[in-house]
Chain A
């Protein structure tokens, strides 16, 4: 259990700063992206009225998640933010499932991945809010109920980024730790496959969905 905290890092010195890259996470993220890009090409190569399995799977993802975006926002905005929802969900789903395959790790187990996705969602939501309401009305909202509450409102908004990314990180990391410990205690007999199923497939799916839903919800709260 000692090797739990070890990471393969590539450290680059740029202008007096140390910039560290977690190599394994980067490789895993690129692998997830490669699978998704390949899936995208395979699903849209032969567009037929009677879809083949790959195309049918792609259509299933797109239609379900697009409907979700329409429900949370509206028809007009869903055209803008629908692709974001679909891409985000598919990326997170595959990332969370990735650890089930031996020798592969979930990219979401490293805090950097969920945090960067959370920050991305934060900027998109606030951009959408400014675009929909105008800068004045947007700024005015921070001064509710009284003007001196503004710092607390700002912290509240920043806390959303923290909560959305730490939720995903905590669940995936916690699941990985539980699997590791139980495998260690039971010498990998009998129990770990069930745990992989529960934490990998089940919790991974739910958390991917929750992250995606919250990103849309944050956009819809800013817009309306």
Chain B
């Protein structure tokens, strides 16, 4: 098996993309789950505000997800641009 420079760079980019997206997905997944759990708790305590609480949860999750989106962007850059 002959390994050339360009090939090794590509291989590194592919595995890097996998690592970026894989590890990058852990944090947002757990964090958004926490937000959802707390939203359920809040609705249980104060069901009248269910609409407001759900919207707050969604906004919070959208912000928490931005790091996941950054990982996605980096992974796509590694795959198609670098």
Contact = CB atoms under 8 A, between A and B. Distances in A.
Direct contact of A and B (CB under 8 A): yes
Interface of A: 71-72, 152, 155-156, 159, 217, 220-221, 224
B69 A159 contact: yes
A120 to B, nearest CB: 21
A216 to B, nearest CB: 11
A44 to B, nearest CB: 31
A155 B73 contact: yes
A221 B58 contact: yes
B70 interface: yes
A155 B55 contact: no
Interface residues of B, number: 11
Contact of A156 (B50, B58, B66): B66
Contact of B72 (A159, A217, A220): A159
User: In terms of DSSP, what is the predominant structure of the interface of chain A?
Assistant: helix
Contacts of B5: none
B69 A152 contact: yes
A155 B65 CA distance: 12
A221 B56 CA distance: 10
A71 B70 CA distance: 32
A155 B51 contact: no
A82 B51 CA distance: 17
A155 B72 contact: yes
A71 B73 contact: no
- The list of the 10 closest CB pairs from A to B, nearest first, reads A156-B69, A159-B69, A155-B73, A155-B69, A221-B58, A152-B69, A159-B72, A217-B58, A71-B51, A224-B55
Contact of A220 (B50, B55, B65, B70): B55
B27 to A, nearest CB: 16
Contacts of B66: 152, 156
Contacts of A221: 55, 58, 62
Nearest to A217: B58
Contacts of B72: 155, 159
9 contacts: A71-B51, A72-B51, A152-B66, A152-B69, A152-B73, A155-B72, A156-B65, A156-B66, A159-B69
